[in-house]
Amino acid sequence: MTDRLNHIDEKIHQLKKKREKVQAQQALSFLKETQKIFKDEFSTPLALAMMAESWAAAPETKKESWKKAYSLGGGKPQTFPSPASQLHRKKNQEVGSTDHQSREKEIPHHEHT
């Protein structure tokens, strides 16, 4: 019985560490996305001030639309896409546009006179 409880405690500890790691990854993703928006003018205090002021000044309807956008995943909070999924999506878009361009070259366009 004690071994089983120790095993459960160890599993809880591992899950807490995993949760901390995921939260750190999300924070880093958030920081990177914010840096992309602000570009060279990025600073953490500026970003935080803008979010705080935007939230305070926003009407309730806007706040509700932000909340709904946040929880579109069936009640689960949305996270930033991982760099790997962004790269995969970008490659698929490039392949799709290249494929479309090659099909355009294959299909002759005839003008009707």
Q: Which helix (H) or strand (E) holds 22?
A: helix 2-38
Domain ranges of the chain: 2-60+73-105
CA 44 – CA 32 distance, rounded (Å): 11
Contact 82, 29 (CB under 8 A): yes
**Helix residue spans in 39-79 (DSSP H):** 44-57, 60-70
Each residue's pLDDT tens digit, 5-25 = 999 999 999 999 999 999 999
Each residue's pLDDT tens digit, 21-57 = 999 999 999 899 989 988 988 898 998 899 899 999 9
CA 66 – CA 75 distance, rounded (Å): 13
